[in-house]
Structure 1
Amino acid sequence: MSKLADLVPKVRSKNAGPFWLTVDVFCGAPDVFARVSSGLDTARVADAFRIDPTSLKRFDMPDLNVVKFSLPRPAIQGTIFDRDMHGASFAQIIGEIDI
């Protein structure tokens, strides 16, 4: 098994508005996309983010070799409880998942 971040060229997370975050897994090549797409279980991703799996939206885009996840922010952006206004730290969480 390998960590996701070791298999792909880039994992990026960012804002998708004040209530949502998006995490993009750029696989680079079709063979890597196939491995990531089949090996990255949505329930495991939800567990890593500590959210209900029904709250996590997943988009597999084989034409772009990208797997994308959208999830509700743990705190509304810019509030006193928001620890990451740009949503950049969420890429590290998913990058640690073994595939």
Structure 2
Amino acid sequence: MALIRDIATVCKSKNAGPFELTLDVVFDDAETYRKVKATGVLSADLFATLYSVSPNAVQFTEYDAGLAFKATLPRLVSAGDIGDTDVYGAQQHAPLLDVDIPV
């Protein structure tokens, strides 16, 4: 088992406009990427669970050419709105860091 924080080269989040958030998990070698992909752990369902949204609201992409996974999902609070704690969406990747991957 390995945590995303220990095997991913990049794990980041950012705004995809004021109402959506994009999260990227990128690996620096094809072997690790393929192993992670084969587990099926990184999925729309995982992102939905971690970010308390419907799985139907998550646009999930496995990007083989970039050795990356990408998820775009609705923000629970619009960027800059009352109650928003991260206007740029740059700190929202933290829940992903502790995801355990059976590789």
Q: TM-score, normalised by structure 2?
A: 0.88
Q: Which residue of 1 aligns with 2:89?
A: 87
Q: Secondary structure at the match of 1:67?
A: strand
The 8 Å contact of residues 19 and 72 in structure 1, kept in 2 or not, is answered as: yes
Structure 2 residue identity aligned to 1:75? V
Unpaired stretches in structure 1, ≥5 consecutive residues: none
Q: Which residue of 1 aligns with 2:64?
A: 62
Q: Which residue of 2 aligns with 1:53?
A: 55
Percent identity over the alignment is 28
Cα distance in structure 1, aligned partners of 2:59 and 2:100: 20
The 8 Å contact of residues 27 and 36 in structure 1, kept in 2 or not, is answered as: no
**Residue 95 of structure 1, CA deviation:** 1.6
Q: Secondary structure at the match of 1:46?
A: helix
Cα distance in structure 1, aligned partners of 2:63 and 2:42: 15
Q: How many residues align?
A: 99
Structure 2 residue identity aligned to 1:78? G
Displaced runs of 4+ in structure 1, greater than 4 A?
A: none
Does residue 12 of structure 1 match 2:12?
yes
